[in-house]
Chain A
């Protein structure tokens, strides 16, 4: 590996800070260490791949400008998912803009040998390495005594013992990082992989070729020779890079092939040779630094799993947990929702008395406040959902959900790994789609991305809540289940069923030739979630919802207010419902009315459908704006009541019946109405092909779904 390159124009660099990479296995406590070092708020998760994005922050309490980069959790520097690829590229220096001065590896002491796998790989990169040995207390509780000094000696790296979640050892880690960044000289380390003479003789021609054609040190050439021998496509990196002309690389290919043949003739396998030799090294390290003082007992986690992944209780608990979460969201959010509703109403009435009549008052009250207010109401529900999902992630239950559901998911061509992105999509498809980076198979990843938006995200919740609140009577069934709760649950269920069906269909043409990859997933020990971090997480998501989504909604509300207010009718005496018909919005709604009429929607809902293609929750603010413009004198009446009282001006019949409400909800379950989702799919799949297919198939699904509900319902006399 090359020396960390000195930048060409050090004086012209705007940012003089030193880059430190933080790596580690998933669940090793890397994110906790990152938070402790930088003071940045960040997600603490327990399932593989929670840190999908690279995050960075300045090292706290140091005079030096040191920037810590939190890289995705990984088990090996030989990447097997895109997530691991990103991390590996940065620390191996394959990406041009990274100049990592120091690699800090966080290792879980209670699971040392597997964590050391990544450590031994990092050591071979030739950059300074600092080992943060985490959770020594958990190791001790397991009956394992680790000698950090012996470990440091064996690996020839600095070791700092820490207990990250209790803040122990963090000051020491901080000062050690500063110290090592100042030292700055890259230490070359011998790989501890031992080769016997026979293997050395076999590898010698390859090694000599490498010594001639590269600037690698002697020990590095041996290591590179083993790597090339052990991995099928490893030699491609030599062909692709600037390491030599193609004719020379074919020489190298031949040398490797010959070495493999020699091994095969000797009845030895060359596959995974590096991995086997590395674990042999690790076992040697452990023999000198780890002592098992007593036989391991059954841990608390294992006892918990006796119930939580039990053959019968496991799935029962799984269903119970999610049923409770959705029921709770509806029940607990009631009080704060009412409070927000009243506050918004109070603000409008007071503003109306403070401001003079006219365009400004109209814009503020009927455009901005009506739109934003209608969406703020749903903030409590969204916060509750994020709270529960964060909690499930942080405890480690998400991995169990994947374990329980894997067999079920396989029917749809997916694995248990898809469960986590799909469950996250219940909060929002955007982070859910980003979480698919941990899926190793491209095919499975594409399918998961394509069906993720069918999971009912939190943005649909306002629509469901409005429709259910207005049109589903609050009766109970069997004494315990409320009808509104059951209706909500069935909307979520419909999304899941549609997703399974779509996955089945997509399976046939999304990379059908690719062979399925193995499902290998860690079941991390259960951990007590930090309430503070869970709440911080909820707070940040809520902030993003209010600011980011709020901006779009505010802008849309104002545009809509304009569209729904202008052109003003020439005749002042015309009724308000006649007036809105002549506006731009009214015209647009009328244009699409013939298309949506079979679904039970009128032109006002048509306006909502158009605007909600930007984001689903915009429907609510759109309806609020339209009805407020229409009846500007009745500000205090809630949107819910306005919908109930809405009559067809010609027939006098209510526009919204429970059947129309259900049809509208079904449309929202199935349609792809989210700009952010389309954008993220484009980014993650790197083409317009998949986002366009997504919009197409979901719109078709939504139209057909609503058509069946409305026409079927009308036929059965439920209209």
Chain B
């Protein structure tokens, strides 16, 4: 599944990041394969998404999140 489908409170591990669509800046902020991702809050219409990625809190748009492949982890 992609990051865009993550629900609030759900935790996931990033599996793949498409370097064609994702700018270097987002990678530098920790959005890399192997790192954790969690949805903190969504704005109205579920866009943008407020995420905790690898301990960094950041917000990105849904269209960007669609290019990040994740796998949910159950705890």
Q: Do A and B bind each other?
A: no
User: Which residues of chain B have a CB within 8 Å of any CB of chain A?
Assistant: none
User: Which residues of chain A have a CB within 8 Å of any CB of chain B?
Assistant: none
